[in-house]
Structure 1
Amino acid sequence: MENQNIKITIIIAVFNGEEYIENTIKSVLNQKKKIDLIIIDGASQDKTVEIISKYKSKLHRFISEKDEGIYDAFNKGWNLADSNSFILYLGVGDQLKELPSDDKFTKADIIYGRVILNENTIFNSKIGFRLKLGNTLHHQALLVKKSLHPISPFDEQFNLYADFDFNQRLYKQNFTFIYDDVFLSYALPGGVSAVFDEQQSLKIVKKNYGVLLSVFAVIYYRLQNLKNLLM
């Protein structure tokens, strides 16, 4: 039986996403658990708003207005979510496949799972030392209690990796992270962080962990690049 005390908010950010928005919405509405669905549209000029309007009665909130990018949209959604909810973000084209089991919500501050990147690759989110160097938690399979950070969580100066910055800040505070391999989402290829920006990533590492670790991160990135070239 579903635990009625579990509150889940899912926020979808979209701009000119007519090709994919309906699949993303349906992937949320098809879940068995009760979900508050919030959609933040950046004043789309195509048929996105028309498509979303078909589902308006099933949405918790829907806003369509100009924004400053995906993290501005995510922050707007966060501020509209119930203060007691677990929050998950999807970009247009992403899809939620399966939410965590109920028992994980009663034990965790943050729940993380797996993300399908393509038909051959599933990314297993991780915490630990590597999160200090790179973003090993993907937002498509990450549920965070709003009460951990009641105000807008994303620093919009990081236009590509504000979620990486937020994840590091959460990890530094010793909250309870719990992994659930049942928890599964799909990430549409080609999102804002698809092309690696080393300088922005290093700036985040330096901000949260200092100069020494940012130097180590440079070495780590070089080794990763070499590994990719040899594969």
Structure 2
Amino acid sequence: MPRICVITVVRDGAQFLEGTILSVLEQKERVDLDYIVIDGGSTDGSVDVIRRYADRLLYWVSEPDRGVYDAMNKGWAAAGDDSSILFLGAGDRIVSLPDHLERFGDKVIVYGTVRMGEDRVFHPRCDFHLKLYNSLHHQALLVPKALHPAPPFDLRYRVYADFDFNQRLANSGARFVYAPQLIGYARPGGVSDRAGFAETLRIVYRNSGFLWAALAVSGYYAMKIFPLMKRLRPIRGI
């Protein structure tokens, strides 16, 4: 039976971290899960927050790393081999988890919706959209470790290595299943909110080729232009 493993990665996020930890421990009351926290050598009190809950964690560590995806790779390595893994940053939260994960099978990727701030909901897509942009978010994504036992994130990508991993999973033929019960919350203002398009384009080109990269460029500029077109008003008499 697959077991849920939630991994939180943090560096200097003390003001947000406790809320994230409590959201996971609340789920732990009703769902049998493991919880891992990987801290990147924080100096702002994050480690004190972690220590308060250390007896309820499977594993935690605080040490310097090479960025968020290095920390996520460490968490992946520490998770049980039978785990389905979900990642949260400091300030992210679990809203709800699916019951009876075993009904999906031990090699099925389960995905859900992500609330982004107070008034936005990210609706995931696992079709051709995944070839164009980051259409699945890690706050509501359970990936069986059995699909990729080794740490999966390519450190050449500083912002979208999870998108790269999702594309590689899809290209390998992995099965994705939507679960309405799986709902996450993403804290606004994360690193990916500030990222440019260049890294995404490199990932699409590497995993899917020139045609999909060209389509991604077209879609990107269409999304930029469309809001401007909506604001235009016709001139009377023309």
Q: TM-score, normalised by structure 1?
A: 0.95
CA contact (8 A) 1:104 1:178 kept: no
Count of matched residue pairs: 227
- Within a 5 Å distance, the mapping from 1:74-223 to structure 2 comes to 74-102=72-100, 105-107=103-105, 109-223=108-222
1:26 aligns with 2:25: no
Residue pair 2:31, 2:99 contacting (<8 A) in 1 also:
no
Cα deviation for residue 92 of structure 1 reads 0.5
1:229 CA displacement = 3.8
Runs of 4+ in 1 over 6 A off after TM superposition: none
Q: Secondary structure at the match of 1:189?
A: coil
1:205 maps to amino acid: V
TM-score, with length taken from structure 2? 0.92
Counterpart CA distance in 2 for 1:18 and 1:228 is 37
Give the Cα–Cα distance (whole angstroms) in 2 for the partners of residues 116 and 46 of structure 1: 27
Shift of residue 139, structure 1, vs aligned partner: 0.3
Matched, 1:39 2:9: no
Residue aligning to 1:59: 57
Q: Distance in 2 between matches of 1:189 and 1:139?
A: 14
Residue 116 of structure 1: how far off its partner (Å): 0.3
Q: How far did 1:105 drift?
A: 4.6
Query: Is 1:15 paired with 2:14?
Result: no
Identify the range of structure 1 (46-55 vs 5-14) with the bigger mean alpha-carbon deviation: 5-14
- Quote the Cα distance in structure 2 between the aligned partners of 1:105 and 1:26: 27
Report the structure number with the largest CA radius of gyration. Answer: 2
Is the contact between residue 13 and residue 74 of structure 1 (CA under 8 Å) also seen in structure 2?
yes
Task: Please list every run of 5 or more consecutive structure 2 residues that lacks an aligned counterpart in the other structure.
Answer: 231-238
Deviation string for 1:163-205 (max 9, x for gaps)? 1100100111221211011110100011111124111111000
2: CA distance between counterparts of 1:42 and 1:229?
41
Q: Deviations over 1:88-115 (max 9, x none)?
A: 0000000001001315653361000010
Name the CA distance, whole Å, in 2 between partners of 1:218 and 1:40: 35
